[in-house]
Structure 1
Amino acid sequence: MPSTSPTLTAERILEATEEVLRRHGPAKATVVDVARALGVSHGSVYRHFRTKAALREAVTKRWLDRTTGLLAEIAGASGRDAETRLREWLAALFAAKRRKAFDDPELFATYSVLTTETAETVVSEHIADLTGQLTAIVRDGVESGVFTAADPAVAAVAVFRATDRFHDPHYAREWERPGVQDDFDALVDLLLRGLRTR
């Protein structure tokens, strides 16, 4: 009788890995746990991901890419004015990070550990993607005469770094503090005033 279990794909493995990480945390989660959750041998998992580190890197990238994809839609809406897009992009980034931190705190804590482990690769690529999106918005603003920036890429990195407190996981405890939304809005207003053509 043929097997009725679904085909083992990288995506299924990543979904199971996320569940295992949520349950056990990064220190105790193993490839064997992931294989057990899928009902396969750990060798089957290794056929898709050569090492435990590769699996952790892939699941971290998947988690970070959820935010990148959402923000890409805002950045890519070139028919809308750059100032509105920049404000919406920064607000969406802050909201996405807050959701991750507060809707699933166990998984957020797990990913905070994993992003530290993969900082040189996955996190650097994530930051490059985000600053690339910001660069596109700033460049559109310069080209339409709304913003002034000698180098849109440099300005985008400056905006990203200036708003670290509202998206860097190290500041997550502050995101529930009363008044944090007002602080965010005030900073975005200040940044936009600095970018506007005088």
Structure 2
Amino acid sequence: MAATSPTLTAERILEATEEVLRRHGPAKATVVDVARALGVSHGSVYRHFRTKTALREAVTKRWLDRTTQVLADVVADGERNPEARVREWFAVLFAAKRRKAGLDPELFATYTVLAGEAGEVVGGHVAELTGQLTEIVRAGVEGGTFTVDDPEIAARALFQATARFHDPGYAKEWEQPGVEGEFEAVVDLLVRGLRAH
């Protein structure tokens, strides 16, 4: 009896695409390589993702969403005070980015290239992250912990002010001696600026 291959799903294609990108890099990876890795025709891949660009955007979004999902747990933790949640949110974000860059530098470099191509995907990711941060800041304002006029503007400012610790362009600096202390000093200064006076 012949073995049946698993159903071709978007998730299986994205997993294979990630492996192909890891092996070949963004410049050389093709849809044909992905199809070959899956044992299907490239037309089968195109039934799920209409273009190579759509496939690259989807795999980039999947990669970015892993960080968003980890941070969602911090946002949902209503038991902790908002100040602790802001600090934890940034600590988790920084740790996640450092882990991605450190564990698989080739894949991290690949995704940095892909993210540069996928402006809408990255824009959506940043909007999602600042939305999470806005939720925490708003809880702090409502609870009297923070004093800001507009939680959304404050969240965007916090995000921009900490870019050195999560923007991939700074990845080479993330392993320098003393970076944790610098990170904590920046977050501490920003959190103190949010506090009700």
TM range (shorter): over 0.9
> Taking structure 2 as the reference length, what is the TM-score of the superposition?
0.98
Q: What is residue 11 of structure 2 aligned with on the other side?
A: 11
Residue identity opposite 1:147 in structure 2: F
SS in structure 1 at match of 2:60: helix
How big is the shift at 1:2? 5.7
Q: What is residue 165 of structure 1 aligned with on the other side?
A: 164
Q: What is residue 180 of structure 1 aligned with on the other side?
A: 179
CA distance in 2 between partners of 1:77 and 1:2 (Å) = 50
Q: What is residue 55 of structure 2 aligned with on the other side?
A: 55
Structure 1, unmatched stretches of 5+, are none
SS in structure 2 at match of 1:78: coil
Residue identity opposite 1:164 in structure 2: A
Structure 2, unmatched stretches of 5+, are none
> Taking structure 1 as the reference length, what is the TM-score of the superposition?
0.98
How big is the shift at 1:3? 4.8
Q: What's the RMSD between the two structures over aligned residues?
A: 0.8
How big is the shift at 1:44? 0.4
Runs of 4+ in 1 over 2 A off after TM superposition: none
CA distance in 2 between partners of 1:143 and 1:191 (Å) = 19
User: 2:149 aligned with 1:114, yes or no?
Assistant: no
Residue identity opposite 1:97 in structure 2: K
CA distance in 1 between partners of 2:115 and 2:41 (Å) = 27
Residue identity opposite 2:65 in structure 1: D
Q: What is residue 123 of structure 1 aligned with on the other side?
A: 122
CA distance in 2 between partners of 1:137 and 1:156 (Å) = 9
CA distance in 1 between partners of 2:183 and 2:48 (Å) = 42
CA distance in 2 between partners of 1:129 and 1:79 (Å) = 22
How big is the shift at 1:79? 2.6
Q: What is residue 143 of structure 2 aligned with on the other side?
A: 144
**Identical columns (%):** 73
CA distance in 2 between partners of 1:70 and 1:171 (Å) = 21
Residue identity opposite 1:109 in structure 2: A
